[in-house]
Amino acid sequence: MTARDKCINPEFSLKDIMVRPLPIGVQDFKEVRDEGYLYVDKSNLIPQILSQKSEVYQVTRPRRFGKSLNLSMLDAFFNIKYPKDNKWFDGLKVSGCKECYEHKNAYPVIYLDFKNLGVSNMKTFDSDLIDEMSNLFRNHKYLLDSEILDDVDKKYFDDVFRRKLDPITLRKSVSVLSRMLNEHHGRKVIILIDEYDNPIHNAFGKTHHQEILDSMRDILSSALKGNDSLQFGVVTGVMQIAKESIFSGLNNLKVNNVLSKDFDELFGFTDEEVKAILEEYGHPERIDEAREWYDGYRFGDADVYNPWSLLNYVSERFEPKPYWAGTSGNSILEDLFEYASPELWDEFRSLSEGMSIPYKVKPTITFQDLHTDERNIYSMLVMSGYLTAFEDDGIQYIRIPNGEMADVFGSTILNRLNVNSPMHVRNLSKAFVSGDSDAVEKRLYNLFASSAGNAMLNDEHSYQAFVTGMLMFLNGRYTVKADLEEGNGRFDIRLERRYGDYPNIVIEIKRIPIDSSDEAAETSAMKALEQIKKRDYLHGLEGPTLIYGIAFRNKKPTVLSERMDIQP
């Protein structure tokens, strides 16, 4: 029985029908558990880390896939400053691991987050680094009263805390703090570092990029390489920066990225977890829609959903739209379309049409590598969550994972066309879906008249490319395809619905001389409709379907449409 059913059943109390609040933007595991937020149990990460016994784990996943919450969970489990009898892990999977509980709240923990280090210039970076280290030492201020540490250590501690040390000296401070904690507690230290790559990537293209890379390498290397006080470390980020660049000399490094099979279900939501969420919030019937929009990522051997988008989808009353993409700019895609070759542009159109492309992902690709081979952008897009990779018969492929990212790609393609008003494109898309051929005709003319130069309209393919680009606005609800074989020929444009009651749409375009009569234009549009049916461009479609024949006289379209219901 769902929460919705219980609302109309008087035998249930208010407590029975209450659902847990959604932890959107809440990254503190303790707060999630204390405040009764929905929590999707990822505590199996703890026994996996303990059993592998690596010295340092480098974990990379796209943003908003649960890295910070998982690090916070590790802190809550291992940190000696929390009481051993805390209830945060009661009922979770890790509670069944007796060996794990020997390590519960037994280690001093150093917990750093580098997402807020400014990189506009070195002065800003150094100032933020000083503040970050001061705040870190503040969390362990009790060491100033330690009977174990000597006056030299306490003087160093006080200088960091009071922001007296220069940034160069501070690069060793994490290592020094770990030694102090080890000596004071008599236990080795766990080091947790979130978003280690953020300042490095944000500084790309700036004159001081190498200085920031050097600084981050010194901080991480001194903390994690040859540190006798280290029990283990976990470092998370989006991109996997090559070991030679930042972890040089670190021998016992366990790399875990989107291709790794370890931890594969521990970042992102599985299908069973999403089903449980939809059941709890009263809409289990939404599972197909949720899959279309937010599933499709492949991490190791696991298929997972984007957790940020799924939670926002539930929070926004199950309205399917891009949520993850709105949390930051899509500058990677925008830069790509600015400088992409025609060949790469064609590949991106193929991806946006739902096709897969053979490509071997290189996990350690960085921005510098884009200059050596423009296709290296695909590795970055896989690691950062815009694309996903999978294998078939030993060959690795890439594709757009779901409707949300299809929408992002469609919008980016649309922006490249320099269409003046997204509102006009939205209205054109609605007209196509509604079957209103007069509205389609009017809105097509307005868009062509304001956005398309005469020089680009030199053949039917140019019209097809322009209309396809505008219809990429519908990429979340549809798979938008162009110039592909189906039936007994190649259709111009075909929109296959992803879910729901939207009609499939097939469009055939003709180009006729600018001085042709209205009668000739209508005859040409009718021939386009007949071509769709005669050559069976509808092959494989089922349900309500709209077909459009469009004849263009330069920028003036004549549009005819027909509604069909195709039986399986």
What is the Cα–Cα distance from 114 to 165, expressed in whole angstroms? 19
Domains and CATH numbers, the chain: 3-9+266-326 (no CATH), 41-84+99-256 (3.40.50), 329-404 (no CATH), 418-566 (no CATH)
Residue 327 is given by DSSP the state: G
3-state secondary structure 189-241: EEEEEECCCHHHHHCCCCCCHHHHHHHHHHHHHHHHCCCCCEEEEEEEECCCC
Residue 502 is given by DSSP the state: P
H helices, E strands: number in the chain: 24, 15
305 neighbors 266 (Cβ within 8 angstroms): no
Please list the residues that pair with 318 across neighbouring strands.
Answer: none
Q: Which residues contact 50 (CB under 8 A, 6 or more apart)?
A: 99, 100, 103
560 neighbors 524 (Cβ within 8 angstroms): no
pLDDT tens series, the chain, 568 aa = 444 444 444 443 434 456 899 999 999 999 999 999 999 999 999 999 999 989 999 999 999 999 999 999 999 999 999 999 999 999 999 999 999 999 999 999 999 999 989 999 999 999 999 999 999 999 999 999 999 999 999 999 999 999 999 999 999 999 999 999 999 999 999 999 999 999 988 887 789 988 999 999 999 999 999 899 999 999 999 988 877 677 877 778 899 999 999 999 999 999 999 999 999 999 999 999 999 999 999 999 999 999 999 999 999 999 998 898 766 555 556 666 666 777 887 788 788 778 899 999 999 877 677 677 888 889 989 998 999 999 999 999 999 999 888 887 777 766 665 555 567 778 888 899 999 999 999 999 988 887 655 545 667 877 888 888 788 778 778 888 888 889 999 999 999 998 778 899 999 999 999 999 999 999 999 999 999 999 999 999 999 999 999 999 999 999 999 999 998 8
Structure tokens at 508: 């055939």
pLDDT at 12: 39
What is the Cα–Cα distance from 454 to 459, expressed in whole angstroms? 11
225 neighbors 217 (Cβ within 8 angstroms): no
- Global pTM? 0.81
